[in-house]
A and B are shown apart, each in its own frame.
Chain A
Amino acid sequence: MTEERQAIIKKNGHAAAAMISAMIGILSLAVSHVFSLLSKESSNLMLEVGKTWIPGAEGIGPYSGKETFMLIGWFSSWLILYFVLRNRDVKLSHYGITFMIGVGISTLLVWAPFLDLLK
């Protein structure tokens, strides 16, 4: 690799952080949805969390809390991973596979027939 090309290529830690934090946000949404189905108390907790900041949260019910957990999971993990990975060069394909698996699991967790199979 030439020196010029090496200078252009940045460390890819920021990309890994962005990718994995998006996956964590999505996974947080799916897991909070599963928790809300487990008990009435969890569902009420989701609503209370949503009501703290989302306008009209009462109208959309526990969904507001699930959105909140998605944002918390997404932004907090991005902040942490940003500082952890910013100066690192990582094997991005491993992070890509992790991203795909996380999104795949999240998709199954919000698909009602799959949850019925787990009951």
Chain B
Amino acid sequence: MSKIMADERRLLKSVVIAAWIILTVFLAFILGLSAPWEKLMGHSFFASMATTHGIFATLGVIIGSATGYLGWRLLLGHLKAYRDLRILATISSVLAFLAITTGNWIYIAYRGPEGPREFFINNFPEIHEIFFEFKEFIALFTLPIAVAATFILWKYKDSLQHDQSLRNAVGMMIAVGWSVLMIAFVLGATITKLMAVS
């Protein structure tokens, strides 16, 4: 009796997942083909790159925050989902790399003639000299920290749950990584609100 119920539950779960995938693909197809992407992404290469950078940065904050939460649980010694943490940390590292490389491209427009840098230096010099300068460097901190934490999570995947000092080390690195990620994101979003690249 219980075997039949378990089979039914598995079947229902498969049906729900299949329906969700079919609906998502269908909607993505319709929305993807009919959306005026050029309006959303901007009219220039740099504007499109800025949108892409913003998407990677936002995804980085979402995934990075989930990683940060699991990292905090790891630090406290309450974590059970080691596999989830490894996967999220890996995605965070990839997103840090993508956000930095796209950020490099939009920095060209930022420094270009009539770009935000010129505007800020002429009108609000502190925005460039203090906040942007800080943001452009602190954002780079995320990559080595995320990659090192990810490396340790994979390298010591079997021994992590038995080794308190390793858990402390990775938990601390994830906490530092999340902090610099949030500083970079908040400053980036705020500065973009004042003047975006075009």
Contacts and interface: CB of A to CB of B under 8 A. Distances in A.
A54 B100 CA distance: 13
A112 interface: yes
A18 to B, nearest CB: 4
Interface stretch (B25-33, B51-59, B61-69, B144-152): B144-152
A45 interface: no
Main secondary structure of the interface of A (DSSP, over half): helix
B166 A26 contact: no
Q: What bracket does the count of chain A residues touching chain B fall in?
A: 35 or more
Contacts of A15: 152, 155-156, 166, 169-170
B156 to A, nearest CB: 6
B169 A112 contact: no
9 contacts: A10-B155, A15-B166, A22-B147, A22-B148, A22-B173, A56-B105, A93-B168, A100-B172, A112-B133
Q: Which of A60, A67, A70, A113 counts the most B-chain CB atoms under 10 A from its CB?
A: A60
A106 to B, nearest CB: 7
* Chain B binding surface, main DSSP class: helix
A10 B157 CA distance: 10
A107 B152 CA distance: 23
A18 B151 contact: yes
Nearest to A30: B137
A113 B130 CA distance: 7
B192 interface: no
